[in-house]
Structure 1
């Protein structure tokens, strides 16, 4: 056995850790992010599986049981028509989370597309950024109210009362929430264009489409993921505000914002009816924001490993 082989055999083998493992370890070290993820996953599981276990119809009235407090039969009490509040909370949470995730996905696609095109193609930068500034300057809440008032009845008649309003709210929230993602992605793309590997790929004749798909997009995943979590929180708040104002889903279709609106008139008699939807909205949004903070710290290579 030669001296070289002895040295090779004597060297200890180091376990190879992937980048995503390092990201998970950094994310796990963030207490708020772990608590937020646990709460968000619990709420998601409850609103997904809960209606199959708690089979009471949230829209079925029971006049003899109206305005009751918490009990074994109704853990969160009943409303003024005797409808079970817990069943309505489960159904409303499913709607709110579904609207948040779908609207976030739409805003993320639009923002990423605009940001990448503006950052990579200099001739499109001016136009796309001025368009982004225009959307940022618009008063969003009045714009949302006007769009919903104009198109709500048409889409209800065309697609049905629930599906029509759902698609309208998702579309409206999505097209008014992509601007921050676009600006963040554009800044990262502008920085990436000056990196050596991008210049090397350009020098060998890599097409812009292949450059974006193979080199640009994989390196802007971090801000996109952080923006996604913040987009879910923003969409949940916006949908709840629209439902609270009576411009969301039909009156017999429960959402957290609609439940909060119904409970306002009984706040002095039954204050817990305001507490349930209000706490659900606040804690869900807070948990998503903590998840975003943890992802930001974990995906930042300057912070990871400290």
Structure 2
């Protein structure tokens, strides 16, 4: 083959390059990705730029009274709360906790859902019991179940791990343990279709062990729906944590999260609406951007849609 002919031969196209090219055509998903990355940078890099303690309360009662519930200004870009604490610092600190809860709880839910879905789809004798368990958990009301878990285990974990770490472990475990069912159903459906494909039948015919078949042939082919479920799970976990904190059953009062800031600001909402505006806007932007990212990933990872 001559050099001129060799240059005409196209290089093999990467699957993830095709996914990225399709993802870029989805304007909402691309915008959502930039907004989500900007929010992550805001809550992680922001505290180094705006180095104010989010829990600092002026020990002088007279000065504390003079600085509480202040509107946005150059000194306090987002105003202050009822104790004179800087709202910008508290929103950034609360974002670290809320986004961390979303990511960790999503990881737990996706791991559990993928495990249950793969086992149910691949092994017929496990399909019935695991799917009935999934239906049982789906039938339970989510918020009352979370409230019961918080009441039962919050004090014990707080004594064992400390109030902040114990509450974090409890919240992410409770949300993850009650959010895996949708991922399990999606993965099971994909596995039921995959196990009849030629490459899986060929691997089974040569005596491939089940664990190797799952790791080498099944999981790489179900990663697309799992990634979509993971992005949507982040938004769901953030909303659930915000609801628990809004009800006063989340993190301790001196440990800010976006839901806790909303809970504290409701009492002052009519006089100082900015108290609920900033954390509510942060939650809305995060959830909306993650939902757009999930929508774009769903289109980009579907070969039937890619290229349209």
Q: TM-score range by the shorter chain?
A: over 0.9
CA distance in 2, matches of 1:201, 1:147: 43
Q: Which one of 26, 33, 39 corresponds to residue 37 of structure 1?
A: 33
Matched residue, 1:224: 226
Distance in 2 of aligned mates of 1:9 and 1:278:
60
Structure 2 residue runs of 5 or longer lacking an equivalent are 59-63
Question: Structure 1, residues 38-80: CA drift from partner, whole Å, max 9, x if none?
Answer: 0000100111111122111111124121111001111000011
**1:23 aligned residue:** 19
* Runs of 4 or more consecutive aligned structure 1 residues displaced over 4 Å after TM superposition: 5-8
Tell me how far 1:6 sits from its aligned partner: 6.3
- 1:137-176 to 2 correspondences below 5 Å: 137-176=139-178
Measured after TM superposition, the shift of residue 159 of structure 1 is 0.7
**In 1, distance between residues paired with 2:119 and 2:6?**
52
Query: Using the alignment, how far apart are the partners of 1:54 and 1:268 within structure 2?
Result: 28
Give the equivalent residue in structure 2 for 1:203: 205
Give the Cα–Cα distance (whole angstroms) in 2 for the partners of residues 10 and 287 of structure 1: 44
Could you tell me how far apart the structure 2 residues matched to 1:164 and 1:237 are?
20
Distance 1:175 1:17, change over 3 A: same
* Deviation sequence 1:80-129 (CA, Å, 0-9, x none): 11000000000000000000000000011100000000000000000000
Q: 1: distance between equivalents of 2:3 and 2:151?
A: 77
- 2: CA distance, partners of 1:8 / 1:121: 53
Q: CA deviation at 1:179?
A: 0.3
Unaligned runs of 5+ in 1: none
Match of 2:132 among 130, 133, 136: 130
Count of residues in Structure 1 that have an aligned counterpart in Structure 2: 302
2-structure distance, mates of 1:45, 1:256: 16
Please report the RMSD computed on the Cα atoms of aligned residues, expressed in angstroms.
Answer: 1.3
Q: CA deviation at 1:204?
A: 1.3
Aligned twin of 1:74: 76
1:62-101 aligned at under 5 Å gives the runs 62=58, 63=64, 64-101=66-103
Distance 1:119 1:189 in 2: 5
Q: Which deviates the most, 45-54 or 246-255?
A: 45-54
Shift of 1:210: 1.1
Cross-structure match for 1:280: 282
The corresponding residue for 1:55 is 51
Go from structure 1 to structure 2 and tell me whether the alpha carbon gap of 1:247 and 1:6 turns closer, same or farther (over 3 Å shift): closer
Alignment partner of 1:265 out of 250, 264, 267: 267
Question: Could you tell which deviates more after superposition, 30-39 or 55-64?
Answer: 55-64
Residue in 1 that maps onto 2:291? 289
The normalised TM-score by structure 2 is 0.96
Bigger mean CA deviation after superposition, 22-31 or 147-156: 147-156
TM-score, reference length from structure 1:
0.96
Q: Distance in 2 between matches of 1:6 and 1:160?
A: 71
